[in-house]
Each structure stands twice: as C-alpha cells, then as structure tokens.
C-alpha cells in the first residue's frame, strides 16, 4: 500500500513539474485549469519517459551487467538509484539523437524506436524466457538478445501497420492528432498483452516453451 501511494505521489509531482499542454490551446478539449503548465511539451516528456523505460528494459537483456561486476552495486537502494540514473542519462542521449540530430517527429520516434523495442523485449525475455542465447555469456548474450528484440519488435510493428487499414480503416498519421501513431502504440503495448497472458497462463507458454513429454 505504501509503495502504491508513493508511486501515485511521485507520478503526480512529475506530471505537474514536467508536462505542458500549451500546444493544445486551440483544441476544443483543452482546459487551462487542467494543464499543469510544466517545463516541457507533454509529448516530449512522455516520449522521453517511454525511452527511459526502454533503456531499463535494455539493461535486463544484459542481466544488469556491468553492475553485476560490483557486488556493492547490486544492493538496494544503490541498485535502484544507479539503474534509474543510467536509464535517464542514456535515454537523454538517445532522445536527443533521434529528435535533434536525425530530426524525427517526437511521436513517430516513440512508435519507431522505444515502443517496438519494449514490445520485442517482452517477447524475448518473458514469452521466450530468455532462452534464445542462454548459452552465451555477458555482454555478448545481452547484445544478441537486444538485437533480437529490435528485430522482433520492428517486425511485429510492421505487421500491425499493415493491418491497421483493415482493422480500423484509414487513419491520419502525423500532427496534430497522430491518430495512426496512437493506434499503433496502443496495439503494440495494450491489445497484444491479453494474447501473451493467454499463452502464459492458459497454455503454459505454448508454443514458446518446449513442453514436457
């Protein structure tokens, strides 16, 4: 209960401090009283947070290597602080490269880079239970696993994109509404989860896990 309350409290503080919806002022749904008027454009803040989450997932591929080389780093709260700091710093670099160097649209960056990677990580580490490269040692194991997550997530993202028009009809891509991007992100990270749960709980990870004869 304490952890849940702390999570809500921290989320509220971050939302009020960093999210700004001024870009929606002309939209009929905008209400100034509900806008926290934070430091950053709300899309940028959201995409950065998702990117940081993807970096935390990336470290899972490496089983927290190289932090595991120092036993003192693997104790709480040191591990949590280090893991969070690394994720935030690396995410800042990835975000800046994608948005400021490559000049990708913020929302399109989200559905092209971090979300497919998160989705691919769920498949490789949860559904496949990290079995793809289990005989390899770190950091090679983590590198190969991360590459597999990129390929799987990107491939499934392309599959969802090809099905979008059939399932939903033609959706507008890009600003201001980002209809297609929101649909794709929702499909990848929300619609698919029930199917993963069905495989894990009802079918004991079949067809991903080799069943006992």
Residues recorded for the chain: 213
pTM: 0.89
- Give mean pLDDT in consecutive 10-residue pieces for the chain, a chain of 213 residues: 89 94 88 91 95 97 94 93 96 96 95 94 87 90 96 92 85 86 85 76 72 54
- The partner residues of 40 in beta bridges, in order of sequence, read 19
C-alpha count within 13 angstroms, C-beta hemisphere, residue 38: 19
Task: Please identify which residue in the block is written with the tokens 């590459």.
Answer: 147
| pLDDT score recorded for residue 176 | 81
**Short-list 91, 117, 104, 115, CA closest to 185:** 115
Give me the torsion for CA of 119, 124, 128, 130, rounded to 10°: -140
pLDDT tens figures, 98-156: 999 999 999 999 999 999 999 999 989 988 888 888 889 999 999 999 999 999 999 98
Question: Could you tell me if 11 and 36 are in contact, meaning their C-beta atoms sit under 8 angstroms apart?
Answer: no
| pLDDT score recorded for residue 208 | 67
Instruction: Return the DSSP state at 119.
Output: H
| pLDDT score recorded for residue 197 | 78
| pLDDT score recorded for residue 68 | 93
H, E, C per residue of 25-86: CCCCCCCHHHCCCCCEEHHHHHHHHHHHHHHHHHHHHCCCCCHHHCHHHHCCCHHHHHHHHH
């Amino acid at each position: 209960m304490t952890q849940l309350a702390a999570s809500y409290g921290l989320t509220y503080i971050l939302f009020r401090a960093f999210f700004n919806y001024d870009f929606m002022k002309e939209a009929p749904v905008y209400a100034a009283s509900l806008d926290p008027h934070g430091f950053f454009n709300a899309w940028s803040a959201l995409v950065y947070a998702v990117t940081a989450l993807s970096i935390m997932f990336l470290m899972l591929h490496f089983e927290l290597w190289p932090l595991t080389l120092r036993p003192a780093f693997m104790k709480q709260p040191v591990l949590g602080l280090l893991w969070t700091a690394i994720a935030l710093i690396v995410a800042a670099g990835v975000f800046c490269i994608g948005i400021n160097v490559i000049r990708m649209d913020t929302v399109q960056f989200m559905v092209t880079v971090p979300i497919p990677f998160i989705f691919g990580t769920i498949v490789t580490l949860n559904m496949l239970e990290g079995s793809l490269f289990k005989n390899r040692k770190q950091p090679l194991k983590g590198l190969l696993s991360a590459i597999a997550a990129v390929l799987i997530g990107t491939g499934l993202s392309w599959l969802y994109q090809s099905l979008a028009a059939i399932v939903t009809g033609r959706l507008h891509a890009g600003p201001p509404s980002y209809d297609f991007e929101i649909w794709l992100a929702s499909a990848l990270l929300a619609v698919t989860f029930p199917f993963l749960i069905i495989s894990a709980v009802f079918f004991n990870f079949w067809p991903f896990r080799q069943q006992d004869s």
